[in-house]
Amino acid sequence: MPQYVSWWWQVMNTNKHDLTSPVLVTVFVLIGAAILWYRSTLSSKLPPGPRNLPIVGYLPFLGPNLHTEFTNMAHTYGPIFKIWLGSKLYVVINTPELAKTVVRDQDETFANRSLTVAASVLTYGGQDIVWSNNNSSWRNLRKILVHEVLSNKNLEASRFLRRDEVRKTIKDVYSKIGTKIDIKEISFVTIANVLTSMVWGKDAHLGDEFQMVASKIVEMFGRPNLSDFFPFLTWFDLQGVKRETKRHVKNLDRIFTSMIDDRIKSNSEGVTIGHEGKKDLLQILLELKDQKDTTSLDINNIKALLTDIMLAGTETTTSLIQWAMAEIMQNRNVMERVQEELAEIVGPNNIVEESHLPKLKYLDATIKETLRLHPGVPLLIPRSPSQNCTVGGYTIPKGCTVFLNVWAIFRDPRYWDNPLEFNPERFLARDETDKYDFKGNNLKFLPFGSGRRLCPGVPLAEKMQMYILASLLHSFDWSLPKGEEHDFSDIFSLALQKIKPLVAIPSQRLTDVSLYM
């Protein structure tokens, strides 16, 4: 209990305004009465949950790591429970059986999102793919991303971009053999360079500036914000989350605006854009924007889509690579098996190519086991029902926030043998009826979601995480700096973050030095 109270106390003491001012006290009293009346009007068939204080609900008792807090609460209140945080009702689902009701049986009903203040600022009011409600604009953006960028044909056409960037990373690591390497940093740079090449062209790299902006935005997403729990406080922005997020997004917007303006100017001057006649994503989006008769795409939609690609694409994959490297290094038998497979499939006198990836079954299983223990988004992106509905016999009111607690599902002994053990073999030798993939077909394993809100970036993420890990592990042996031990502590944020970044020392593994050039 003391840790929860200290979190609440910290929130209260980071306010930019005095919560005891007469105006705010009066507002709180009036809103508190409204909250109590609202709660009393709801059906008695709401899911069970903890007792709440009159106005703030359960807020003073909730720790910052929601994935572990909610999992512990499920042990007390069952597979589905409610929790009042301020004036907002949250419902947490903790089993695949109930998740099926949300992502399949009533997928369309639960296809809307519940925007936080930070998310609204970042996405120009929910005009992107991740946070937009289920509407025609969202369907249009998703169609563009899936068919114009992430189709098998387009991913194959951009293969040379991924190869070039991964080879640059291997060369860079080789130049630093025997020294400390920040795994998160090299992964982030590699992925960001691939994405910017696909979006803006082969020579467009955002570099350190984007990495700094991205880290700040992710930090804002992980910060508890009173305005999310008491929407009437949004105008006051007591903790400055909205102002600070706007400041970081302004920097991101400046980067995007510069890129877009440069491209519009190049187009007006008749400059040929693309590689070998292939248009990049920005060119495609600008041409679609000008086709007023076929699309409602505008500049804010374009910027919001670019934000999704660049932020979600870098953060979740970078997080996965760092966790996977930590687990592989911790489990030497896993490291040996991964490298034996690489030696067999790739060969000791060759470099990893994307054509090798489908044959690396054990590495694939290792990545899946990493996502099981360290899911990138442990509660997935929250959903919000568009009408009153029923889940597990309980009433789920329209407009509430629904979390799918995949962290709990992935560590539940009813579905996984020895769930806290890192064991990639659990994903091998499965028959077709029990196949695990990244499409959410098996609801015991849905790290990227399921149904119509399945992450559309899965095909590219799957290639990138596999390619980078295979290349790092085939080219180098890895060890911790002398005297250091692995720390698997995490913190809840936009992507599940490793509190202590993984720093490792590479040593040469291949005898042919030319393979590092």
The CA distance from 234 to 241, in Å, is 10
Q: Give me Rg for the CA atoms of the chain.
A: 24
Burial of 39 (0-12, 13-18, 19+ CB in 10 A): middle
Kind plus residue range of the DSSP H or E element containing 27: helix 22-41
Return d(Cα 357, Cα 460) in angstroms, integer.
Answer: 13
Give CA–CA dist 162/34, Å, rounded: 55
Q: Do the strands 389-391 and 383-384 form a parallel or antiparallel pair, or are they unpaired?
A: unpaired
Cα atoms found within 13 Å of the Cα of residue 164, Cβ hemisphere only: 14
Please tell me the distance from the alpha carbon of residue 413 to that of residue 439, in angstroms, as a whole number.
23
Rounded to whole angstroms, what are the CA distances from 385 to 380, 399, 514?
15, 6, 57
| Spatial distance between the Cα atoms of 486 and 89, rounded to a whole number of angstroms | 38
Instruction: Return all residues near 68 (Cβ < 8 A) that are at least 6 apart.
Output: 407
Half-sphere exposure of 282 (CA within 13 A, CB side): 26
Q: Report the candidate in 516, 461, 455, 448 with the shortest Cα–Cα distance to residue 191.
A: 461
Q: Across the strands, what pairs with 498?
A: 490
- Does 400 count as an annotated binding residue? no
Nearest to 319 by CA among 232, 395, 221, 390: 221
Residues flagged as binding site for heme: 455
Residues flagged as binding site: 455
